[in-house]
Amino acid sequence: MKVVKLQDVIGTARDVSGENWTSRRLLVKGDGMGYSVHDTIIKAGTETHLWYQHHLEAVYCIEGEGEVETLKDGKVWPIKKNELYALDENDEHLLRAHTEMRMVCVFNPPITGQEVHDESGAYPLVK
């Protein structure tokens, strides 16, 4: 049994930030669950290019509004509180935050916790 408190993750090595986001990694590969779970804040007014070539991701929005544009077809998906989107085809996409967004993100395979996006918008695959 594991209990992870957000307050215990903030300010640790599992609290990782990029230019447009802050991700608090609640569960990571080392926790042995087979997936990772992140509490992520996306800054208002930002656009972030992402392409998880090695991971599938599901994202549940718990605060804010924005949109996801899938680059292969140019389709724009509005996202708001209480909605989930799943990048089930390793979709290259743009995430636009109209307001600050708070998301719960699940990655499979799990990340180690220290990854940041590379130049293509991906996390590296760590074996």
pLDDT at 52: 87
Give, as one character, the DSSP assignment of residue 116.
-
User: For the chain, which residues make up each domain, given as ranges?
Assistant: 6-108
pLDDT at 127: 59
Q: How many CA atoms lie within 13 A of 19 on its CB side?
A: 10
Determine the 3-state secondary structure of 50 from DSSP. Answer: strand
Q: Is domain 6-108 in CATH 2.60.120.10, yes or no? A: yes
Determine the 3-state secondary structure of 105 from DSSP. Answer: strand
**Which pTM value belongs to this model?**
0.88
pLDDT at 58 over 90: yes
